[in-house]
Chain A
Amino acid sequence: MSQPLPAEAARARALLSATARQGRGRMARPVLLGLASIACGLAQAWFMAHLLATLLGHGDSGWAEMGAAAALALLGIALGVAQEHAQADAGAAARAGLRRRAFARLLALGPADPRPAGERAALVVDRIEALDGYFARWLPAAILAAAGPLLIALAVASEDPLSGVILFAAGAMVPVGMALTGIGAALASRRQFDALQALSGRFLDRMRGLPQIVLFGRQESEAQALGAAADELRTRTMRVLRVAFLSGLSLEVIAAAVLGCLAWRHGHLLVGGHPDPQAALFCLLMVPGFFAPLRAFSAAYHERMSAHGAAAALAPLLEGEEADEAGLLLAEIPPSVVVTFEHVSLTYDPSRGPALRDLSFRALPGEALVLAGPSGAGKSSVLRLLMGFNRPDGGRIAFNGRDATSLRPSELRRLSAYVGQKAHLFRDTIRNNIALARPDATEAEILAAARAAHVTDFSDKLPGGLDTMVGEGGYGLSGGQAQRVAMARAFLRNAPLVLLDEPTAHLDPGTEAELLESLRRLCAGRTAIIATHSSALRARFTRVLEMADGRANPARMAGE
């Protein structure tokens, strides 16, 4: 992870603070519980001071105060546990909200997002998880680091004003000390963080490509290079840490100085007999408590840093959120669809030139339109537009004469059954993989779809029939079998528009012939658009639109 740019960092900060604001109620609980536990500590210290003073011959506290101190100790511990629970809840709630939003964005971007699935999944898993520490630990610690010492200093001041002033002064010194020792400290620890990330990134990179390294017989030299890189980074990191740890040192020195000052203040009073030994002891006993929230703050500091990295990765994703809700909903699914393309153009990436230019055609119910042409001609782009995976840059796409682009993409998809080049089987049973297309389908309907697509031809021979687990870690289906499952999905879906993208591309001629029959039945009575290279498939259908270079090739338009 490299250092985020200033603009990125600002967006990351904005995302974190907006999320914290939304969960204000939940975020307040750990802070309040933390303050209550500090108050408990104060009361306990008060009793202990009195007890100690009694031991030393001042006052007459006894077992009752001892009992109170013990009870307060237990209460303080219970409050601490409750605070941790509240923190975990706050973190979980913030993560759940962000995860839902990020996933919705990934679904809205759809297949147009060029990043690999693993990388996108990392956004909704690892990046979101990395934010937990920010909401669960850093935010409460930051607020308590300010409020806790203030509360303690006030309580101490009410017992002995000068001791209170000493604590106030120390509290004010802490940020100054941290700033002085680490003008570079924050910067330094950030660089250290980056450097360590870079090292583990390099290690992971080489581990991922280990087969290449072994094939070229370079494992030993790579190992040595890795070792040298680690050594060099360690020297650099240690140089940085020497500065970064100074801020911790400054905190310790201030704590020691406070103890020294208070010892001097009360020791000084001792010379003539202390007027209020209870107050003196109370002040001394509160010193560790005064610094505890500050220590917790420094310990949680790295949470903030890793959260910023994660938020910087998430912020750009979440930015287009509002647009996703745009678009009309379908009142009902029409029984048949006439698809019209009028002068449609589409460009994915200006440097690669347009994928579709000025394309016009019409597809009618009951007929199958075959899109033919070399790869790169724009066949798949037509289907991507009809599936709402991409939006046209110009021209008009109409369904039954109405503008289709005004519909929300997910609504657009309700009209179609789609079979892509390579059907994806989810880790589930064959039956559920088919039912994906229409979860409310009955058993009989699923079985009928499986028959129509010749899935039962092979599933009947499997040990579990339609209930055999497939997909990752399950029974491996061949490409042709997987394609038949996809075809069964399309049968079950029973939509007016059938879109097929090279449905037989990866199949051997025998399997292709078997599938063609199912395919014909699937298209019967529906509007079908089929992109294909296959001459066998082309031969089965009469209407062919030859495409080249993003355009229809009118000279070879057959069947019009």
Chain B
Amino acid sequence: MSPMLRLLLRVLSLWRSRRGWLLGGVVIAALAALAGVAMLALAGRGVSEGLRHSALTAGAVGSLLLLRPLILLRPVARYLERLATHSATFRALADTRLWFFRRLAERLPAGLGLRGAGDLLGRIVTDVEALDGLYLRALVPGAAAVAVVLAVAVLLGAAGPGLAAVVALPLAAALLLPPLLAPGAGRAAARVAEAQGQLRAAAVDPLLGLEDMLAANGEARATERLMQAGDLLARKQKSLARRAAWGGASGLGLSQAALLGALGYGLAGGEGAVAGSVLGLFLALAAAEVLAALPRAGTALASASAGAQRLFEAADTPPPVAEPAEPAPPPASHAIRIEGLRFAWAPDRAPVFDGLDLDLPEGGRLALLGPSGAGKSTLGSLLLKLAAPQEGRITLGGMDIATLSGAAVRQRIACLTQDARLFDDSIAANLRLAAPEAGDEALWQALERAGVAEVVRALPDGLNTRCGEGGARFSGGQGRRIALARALLSPAPVLILDEPATGLDPVAERAFLETLESATQGRSVILIAHRLLGVERPTRILRLIGGRAIPAMG
């Protein structure tokens, strides 16, 4: 089985539960196409009989009378087809989105956006949406075309096998175009995608290092690189478009061949062949309209399978930390102990931790200091089971967290990560992510502790203010404080605060850290920072140096 076919079959298997809707759409599409064939077949009969006898005969009148209902049937069937196929697509895509969301939540809980530049995630989300092409632009027109070609072959076969051969064979050949064109189109589309990636890099690179680039007077060079990448992309797109154009041309050529074949059959066959020839001509006309959509189906198949490949590649990433087959019952207490921890992000990279020991009793407040890159945030990932240590162990309430389910660990340990993100939803909904049952009062209290209640109170919509995508509605500091409020609201007995004061001005930073003790209300706290202000009053201070934790003074 070709890899493309395998990918597309896997997509279809995701859509299994929507079988009824999807098949219904295909059937209506085939009926609409057949109505068009029937209409032109009747018209052909009417015309040929009328003209041959130079007067309206009973047969011609009958044909024309039958035409009338068909004339309306076809547009109505087309209308229903569009409604049914779109409704089916929406359902199928909704299923795919949810499948992908659940799958990633399970396998890539640390997120996908962190891998490499460019917006891989954004692209995959677009890929999911683009899967509609598989159904709307390939399967539906393909099924309609097959129905039409079969109908033409049967109708003409009755008139004469020779006629059926000259008309139906080119049409049947057109059916082969999508699978024939798809692999080439797929390769061309892959080259387009690659050129697109280069263009994005040529745009993102100089903008990321904008100060350095401008300082070097590099504007002209950056522009040149961008324009060259744009040119390359245009060339690759053109070669893809050329394939599509030639695909379309060959489809058109085949239906023209059928048309001229029908005429030639009449010319060569003399008087006896005329009726069949005219019928063949009109049927070829009817088929041409349906088959015109086919060559594009090849491109649709190619882009759907390319999208499916990226989708499944991300979805099939093995989870970073395998869940235990039979999770142990969650521990009663939540003291944390780390023994002999060794961890490197990749085998060929220097270990972040090498023999780390650490102890955090219930209700303890640990400050973890160190320069950037010392692994402070990595420790959070390990505690939350987003990564697994290569050696040593971490225990929670005396139980190795490797034996606990990820969900059980994360129920006990809440974390304000450095990249904590706000969702495009209300402030209240963003906060309730941490505690779904929390009342407004609890929300205000958390906002108060995070030092952002004033800001929210001043908003006309208060707690119902939408945060915008990634918290775009707020300044960086305000967004950070709302994320902090969310972490404080969580009922988890252990709280990891990774640089909680980022984005707070010095006065607010001091004020927040002074109240840390009361804000965290006797929970265990791990405060990650690169320096202390001296107001935090931690029960222990450790400094991360060379992969180990060394007791330190603030």
Contacts and interface: CB of A to CB of B under 8 A. Distances in A.
Interface of A: 48, 51-58, 62-63, 66, 69-70, 73-74, 77-78, 80-81, 84-85, 87-89, 92, 95-96, 99-100, 103-104, 106-107, 110-111, 117-118, 120-121, 124-125, 129, 200-223, 226-227, 230-231, 234, 237-238, 241-242, 245-246, 248-249, 252-253, 255-257, 259-260, 263, 267, 270-274, 277, 281, 284-285, 288, 374-376, 387, 389, 410, 413-414, 416-418, 420, 423-427, 436-439, 472-473, 476, 478-479, 486, 489, 493, 506, 508
A260 B67 contact: yes
B378 interface: no
Contacts of A54: 267
B72 A249 contact: no
A480 to B, nearest CB: 10
Contact of A234 (B75, B91, B227, B256): B91
A263 B45 CA distance: 12
B455 interface: no
B216 interface: yes
Nearest to A251: B75
B46 A263 contact: yes
Given A223-B102, A267-B50, A472 B117 contact: yes
B508 interface: no
B326 interface: no
Contacts of A271: 55-56
A201 B469 contact: yes
B423 A424 contact: no
A245 B417 CA distance: 48
B263 A96 contact: no
Contacts of B215: 387, 413, 416-418, 420, 437
A107 B87 CA distance: 45
B384 interface: yes
B222 A107 contact: yes
Contact of A117 (B210, B242, B384, B417): B210
Contacts of A203: 97, 101, 125, 128
Contacts of B97: 203, 226, 230
Contact of B83 (A216, A245, A259): A245
The 4 closest A-B pairs by CB, nearest first: A424-B209, A252-B75, A92-B234, A230-B94
A78 to B, nearest CB: 8
Given A106-B207, A234-B91, A420-B211, A218 B263 contact: no
Contacts of B52: 56-57
B205 A427 contact: yes
Contacts of A255: 75
B274 A56 contact: yes
B358 interface: no
Given A84-B245, A110-B210, A207-B112, 4 more contacts: A48-B259, A203-B125, A212-B423, A216-B410
Given A104-B223, A238-B90, A256-B72, A248 B200 contact: no
B252 interface: yes
A121 B203 contact: yes
Interface stretch (B103-111, B163-171, B173-181): B103-111
A251 to B, nearest CB: 8
Given A77-B253, A213-B433, A230-B94, A66 B411 contact: no
Interface in B201-258: 201, 203-219, 221-223, 226-227, 230-231, 234, 237-238, 241-242, 244-246, 248-249, 252-253, 256
B448 interface: no
Q: Is the interface of B mostly helix, strand, loop or mixed?
A: helix
B104 A121 contact: no
B50 A270 contact: yes
A256 B420 contact: no
B63 to A, nearest CB: 10
25 contacts: A54-B267, A57-B52, A85-B241, A88-B234, A88-B241, A107-B223, A200-B129, A207-B125, A208-B121, A211-B386, A211-B421, A214-B105, A215-B410, A215-B414, A216-B414, A216-B433, A219-B105, A221-B436, A238-B86, A253-B75, A259-B71, A271-B56, A389-B211, A426-B209, A493-B216
B76 A249 contact: yes
B47 A284 contact: yes
Contact of B237 (A92, A120, A376, A418): A92
A117 B94 contact: no
A96 to B, nearest CB: 6
Nearest to B505: A376
Nearest to A56: B51
A214 B109 contact: yes
Interface stretch (B154-162, B277-285, B532-540): B277-285
Contact of B212 (A121, A281, A423): A423
Contacts of B505: 376
B67 A263 contact: yes
Nearest to B235: A92
A5 B101 CA distance: 33
A274 B424 CA distance: 70
B211 A77 contact: no
Interface centre among A53, A214, A438 (most CB of B within 10 A): A214
B48 interface: yes
Given A207-B125, A209-B423, A226-B101, A270 B234 contact: no
A125 B203 contact: yes
Contact of A208 (B91, B207, B470): B470
B500 to A, nearest CB: 15
B287 to A, nearest CB: 12
A274 B50 CA distance: 9
A141 to B, nearest CB: 15
Given A56-B48, A423-B212, A214 B203 contact: no
A516 to B, nearest CB: 17
A52 B278 contact: yes
Given A58-B51, A277-B51, A413-B215, A248 B78 contact: yes
A212 B433 contact: yes
B424 A201 contact: yes
Nearest to A256: B71
A48 B47 CA distance: 15
A52 B121 CA distance: 58
Given A96-B230, A213-B105, A216-B490, A479 B373 contact: yes
Given A106-B207, A212-B433, A238-B86, A55 B101 contact: no
Contacts of B116: 472-473
Contacts of B266: 55
Contacts of B7: none
A84 B210 CA distance: 38
Interface centre among A121, A202, A437, A438 (most CB of B within 10 A): A121
B379 to A, nearest CB: 15
B542 interface: no
A99 B232 CA distance: 14
Contacts of A53: 51
Contacts of A277: 51
A518 B67 CA distance: 91
Nearest to A439: B221
B195 to A, nearest CB: 11
B439 interface: no
Interface string B330-349: 00000000000000000001
Contacts of B50: 267, 270
Nearest to B104: A210
Contacts of A121: 200, 203-204, 207
A167 B422 CA distance: 58
A138 B26 CA distance: 29
A344 to B, nearest CB: 20
B109 A267 contact: no
A28 B205 CA distance: 36
B410 A217 contact: yes
Contact of A267 (B64, B91, B241): B64
B117 to A, nearest CB: 5
Contact of B260 (A70, A110, A493): A70
Contact of A248 (B72, B79, B415): B79
B421 A234 contact: no
